[in-house]
């Protein structure tokens, strides 16, 4: 007669299943915590890389606003205004290689169209097309591309990758975005501000939301162009204190608040960005931290009556900004997006001293 194994009791099975679920949840939580810590370390590493970077005086890289003189920024903005009115073939026959580690809409289209309008050609490379930092070092990639093209634009995960590319490239390198900064966007924002409200010097700009790469470039610009920057950001998401301290030493006029209402009071311009960027970990925690930092009609009423609203896009209506503000009369986001094209044409021309 075959041996009859006793059946487990219903209670014992339930306990075992519950224990397994708890273990799985603990494992998932531990994995999430590791991912968050890893992301935080990556951003900290990028910040330290940026703070230690020394610009190459033998070529015109566009790495960060911090590394340009105010006169250079003014030269780029002036050229962008001119090119917006009347295009010129300033880069006839020149070649741009643009590399994307991260997906893009505005950056890719504006650089491709811009280079075409200037008379040049574009080679677009996705990370899946290349061996950048994997089978081939970043340094070797820079050296090879320098033999083919006149200019390189990189949209990278890590600021360190950008700096390594610039160090070993014989041709100018442009920062199309990193985890530390987004200078092309802020140059477009400043062009838009000055089209709408005149010279940004002495203006009051209010930032509401995450202390991210876009904010870092606004901080750089404050030091160079002489405007006041009021920041409303949760303490947990503020930019690095070392970075803020250096910006203040360099002349940035920064006030940090935990209250959006205080930050936007009498502001000339209110700026925000998405709460979640590509690669951000633990979205639930970030949303909980930022839930009181939405730019809506009630908040805009505390700014000046003629204040404008900016967002670098993509936007998420109902999260960082209400639909009534994003699509309202104070919003200049579509002009802001268009001006990426014009300012990046000017940046490319400046890099090649073709202006």
pLDDT digits (tens, 9 = 90+) for 87-104: 999 999 999 999 999 989
How far lies 3's CA from each of 6, 8, 70, 124, in Å? 10, 16, 88, 70
pLDDT band at residue 278 using 50, 70 and 90 as cut-offs: low
Q: Is residue 273 annotated as a catalytic residue, yes or no?
A: yes
Q: How far apart are CA 317 and CA 252, in angstroms?
A: 31
pLDDT band at residue 6 using 50, 70 and 90 as cut-offs: low
- Ordered domains of the chain (ranges, CATH): 65-182+340-351 (3.40.50.1370), 183-338 (3.40.50.1370)
Active-site option among 150, 179, 189, 273: 273
pLDDT digits (tens, 9 = 90+) for 295-313: 999 999 999 999 999 999 9
Q: Over the chain, what is the mean pLDDT?
A: 91
Active-site option among 98, 185, 330, 344: 185
Question: At how many degrees (to 10) do helices 70-85 and 333-351 cross?
Answer: 110
Q: Is residue 182 annotated as a catalytic residue, yes or no?
A: yes
Active-site option among 159, 312, 330, 344: 312
Instruction: Give the pLDDT score at 48.
Output: 84
Active-site option among 108, 155, 159, 168: 155
At 180 the three-state DSSP class reads coil
Q: Is residue 233 annotated as a catalytic residue, yes or no?
A: no
Q: Is residue 155 annotated as a catalytic residue, yes or no?
A: yes
Instruction: Give the pLDDT score at 277.
Output: 79
Active-site option among 60, 182, 220, 342: 182
How many residues in total does the chain contain?
A: 355
User: What own/partner pairs with CB < 8 Å and gap ≥ 24 does 297-300 have?
Assistant: 297/322, 297/324, 297/325, 297/328, 299/208, 299/260, 299/261, 299/264, 299/270, 300/264, 300/270, 300/325, 300/330
CA-wise closest residue to 240 among 301, 159, 173, 321:
159
For the cut 90, the answer to whether the pLDDT of residue 126 exceeds it is yes
Please say whether the beta carbons of 194 and 201 come within 8 A: no
How far lies 19's CA from each of 16, 30, 206, in Å? 5, 16, 49
Active-site option among 61, 340, 344, 351: 340
Instruction: Give the pLDDT score at 105.
Output: 94
* pTM as predicted: 0.88
Q: Is residue 268 annotated as a catalytic residue, yes or no?
A: no
Q: Is residue 184 annotated as a catalytic residue, yes or no?
A: no
pLDDT digits (tens, 9 = 90+) for 242-277: 999 999 999 999 999 999 999 999 999 999 999 997
């Amino acid at each position: 007669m075959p041996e009859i194994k006793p059946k487990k009791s219903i209670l014992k099975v339930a306990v075992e299943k519950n224990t397994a679920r708890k273990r799985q949840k603990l494992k998932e939580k531990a994995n999430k915590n590791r991912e968050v810590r890893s992301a935080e370390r990556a951003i900290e590493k990028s910040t330290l890389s940026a703070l230690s970077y020394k610009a190459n005086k033998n070529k015109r890289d566009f790495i960060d606003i911090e590394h340009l003189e105010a006169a250079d920024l003014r030269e780029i903005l002036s050229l962008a205004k001119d090119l917006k009115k009347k295009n010129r073939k300033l880069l006839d026959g020149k070649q741009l290689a643009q590399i994307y580690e991260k997906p893009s809409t505005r950056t890719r289209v504006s650089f491709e169209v811009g280079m075409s309008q200037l008379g040049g050609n574009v080679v677009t490379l996705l990370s899946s097309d290349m061996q950048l930092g994997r089978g081939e070092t970043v340094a070797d990639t820079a050296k090879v591309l320098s033999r083919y093209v006149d200019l390189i634009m990189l949209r990278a995960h890590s600021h360190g990758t950008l700096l390594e590319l610039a160090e070993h490239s014989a041709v100018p390198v442009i920062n199309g975005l990193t985890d530390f900064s987004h200078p092309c966007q802020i140059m477009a924002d400043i062009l838009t501000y000055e089209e709408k409200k005149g010279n940004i010097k002495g203006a009051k700009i209010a930032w509401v939301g995450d202390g991210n790469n876009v904010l870092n470039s606004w901080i750089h610009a404050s030091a160079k162009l002489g405007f006041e920057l009021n920041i409303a950001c949760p303490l947990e998401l503020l930019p690095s204190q070392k970075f803020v301290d250096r910006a203040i030493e360099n002349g940035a006029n920064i006030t940090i608040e935990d209250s959006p209402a205080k930050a936007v009071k009498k502001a000339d311009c209110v700026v925000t960005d998405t709460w979640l960027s590509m690669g951000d970990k633990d979205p639930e925690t970030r949303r909980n931290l930022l839930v009181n930092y939405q730019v809506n009609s009630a908040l805009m009423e505390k700014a000046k009556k003629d204040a404008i609203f900016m967002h670098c896009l993509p936007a998420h209506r109902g999260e960082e900004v209400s639909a009534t503000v994003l699509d309202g009369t104070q919003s200049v986001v579509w002009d802001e997006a268009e001006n990426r094209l014009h300012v990046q044409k000017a940046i490319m021309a400046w890099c090649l001293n073709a202006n």
